[in-house]
Amino acid sequence: MFIFDISNPLTLVLMLAATVLLIFLAQEIKKSYVAAIMLFAYLVILIVHVAQLATLSEEFRYMVTTLSRCVAIDFVFVLITFFSYLWVDDIEAKVSGKKSIDNSLDWFWKKV
């Protein structure tokens, strides 16, 4: 069974670096769809890891801890990319003079 093991430290560092670079790119070009693509990709990875964990056969029970760590890390990346999407969407809305998708975090953005 193939598992995209993101609990490996090297993979984790590379994914974090790619995430930070893509968030910076989205912020620089002021396009929220870059962060949305990242969010969608991490959600797909989360769904795949949960499906693998749910359908794990008895012969692969030793992978439960690895998959559990991967699911936890996936949640962290989804949280990071969700907030970055909201942040870049707010920046894009201010630049283009449109209303943002969600203004409920205005108090948070003022402190950032």
- How much is the pLDDT for 42? 95
pTM of the model: 0.82
Q: How far apart (Å, rounded) are the C-alpha atoms in residues 82 and 30?
A: 16
Helices 64-96 and 32-54, interaxial angle, to 10°?
Answer: 160
Instruction: Tell me if 108 sits within 8 A of 83, measured CB to CB.
Output: no
For 9, residues 6+ apart whose C-beta sits below 8 A from its C-beta are none
- How much is the pLDDT for 101? 60
- How much is the pLDDT for 21? 96
Task: Report, as ranges of residue numbers, the positions in the chain whose pLDDT lies below 50.
Answer: none
Q: Give the chain's end-to-end CA distance (angstroms, integer).
A: 43
- How much is the pLDDT for 37? 94
Name the percent of the chain in helix, strand, coil, to the closest 5. Answer: 80, 0, 20
CA–chain centroid gap for 84, Å, is 9
